Amino acid sequence: MANDIKKVVLAYSGGLDTSIILKWLKETYDCEVVTFTADLGQGEELEPARKKAEMFGIKDIYIEDLREEFVRDFVFPMFRANAMYEGLYLLGTSIARPLIAKRLVEIAHETGADAISHGATGKGNDQVRFELTANALDPSIKVIAPWREWDLRSRTRLLEYAEANQIPIAKDKRGEAPFSVDANLLHTSSEGRVLEDPAVEAPDYVYQRTTDPEKAPDTPEYVKIGFEKGDAISVNGEKLSPASLLEKLNALGGRHGVGRLDLVENRFVGMKSRGVYETPGGTILLEAHRGIEQITLDAGAGHLKDSIMPRYAELIYNGFWFSPEREALQALIDKTQEHVTGTVKLKLYKGVARTVARWSDHSLYSEKHVTFEEDAGAYDQKDAAGFIRLNALRLKLIATRNARVAGKG
């Protein structure tokens, strides 16, 4: 194929699909390939990816531990917004893609590459997320999406190509995979195959990160999470780095079956898809963050933040992390977090993480104002009468008008 592409940076997992892509890129574009493998806490050994890349004759191999950056600069800002797509999904896959794409572009600059490449299919959201990020960071970068170009449209064709080109095939790849899995430190996502019929309950073996809530410990466990300016900084009094903190919460939540979600969502490309998600630490973190906001965030600021949350979550889901509108919303959200500092105590039990106590030196909660006992003049209940009369005025005028018009009819 005639082209002006001499070097490509490939997002490389070392699995069958990206190994085939690596060979296909060299064969189709007659170019040098640089591989990039990101450790986002997916829980897999990454050195095999290096060995596979070496086997293909790759000289520039990037394997990077991005766990701290992932949680600190992507997950935590998102959780300051309490972001949930379509009211349920904690955006575990969505929030990882802009970081991977950012590094692909940076490595392209470092190595003098002409293009980047990814293994996302033409049906999903990830192709959009990777490519919107790339375009936002470098409008001149070329993106190669093999699934939109090649004729390897089935698992059988992929295996045939692998065998013809002596690409090692893991034994479990020779049969039909029961489902597709994407994992990082925030969540595990399972899709496809046995999950494609939303009328059928997901089999137990799909869940990999959480205990079945019915089989979780019969004794509840309590955990205290400390916050500073909207970000979690400690678990049970122990200060932890962002990635270590999320890892700790994952272990706690996973043990108690917290964070399972079976969702049929609306993909950005237009179709509906069914996914099974496990987000144990993130579910605890969201509950805790809302708990500390309850006593530290003013009603006006809190309600405004809640009103923009769906738009903010949709921007992340659709791949617009590096857009001016997401950054503008982030500035507003971060402003609301200036006093979101304190501690939340949660109870973990049988799949549920529930706030049971919260306290802060920045609290707006005033017991003397809300007490049912004598408040020593902190609040004059007679003031409520005028407050109600003013708020009722327009309702009374509307009701009077409606009665007058109805009487004429």
Please write the tens of the pLDDT for every residue from 339-353: 999 999 999 999 999
Among 40-54, 97-111, 124-138, 172-186, the least confident range = 172-186
Q: Which pLDDT value is given to residue 96?
A: 98
Of 126, 129, 189, 274, which is the active-site residue?
126
Catalytic: 180?
A: yes
Inform me whether the pLDDT recorded for 72 exceeds 90.
yes
Catalytic: 97?
A: yes
Of 97, 103, 129, 358, which is the active-site residue?
97
The residue among 281, 276, 263, 280 whose CA lies nearest residue 204 is 276
Reduced 3-state DSSP string for 64-131: EECHHHHHHHHHHHHHHCCCCECCCECCCCCCCHHHHHHHHHHHHHHHCCCEEECCCCCCCCHHHHHH
Q: Which pLDDT value is given to residue 47?
A: 87
Q: Which pLDDT value is given to residue 243?
A: 98
- Average of per-residue pLDDT across 39-56: 90
Catalytic: 30?
A: no
Inform me whether the pLDDT recorded for 1 exceeds 50.
no
Q: How far apart are CA 231 and CA 237, in angstroms?
A: 15
pLDDT class for 174, splitting at 50, 70, 90?
very low
Please write the tens of the pLDDT for every residue from 205-264: 999 999 999 999 999 999 999 999 999 999 999 999 999 999 999 999 999 999 999 999
Please write the tens of the pLDDT for every residue from 188-208: 999 988 999 999 999 999 999
If you average pLDDT over every residue of the chain, what do you get? 94
Of 17, 39, 114, 182, which is the active-site residue?
17
Q: Which pLDDT value is given to residue 379?
A: 86
Structure tokens at 11: 């997002």
Of 50, 73, 138, 180, which is the active-site residue?
180
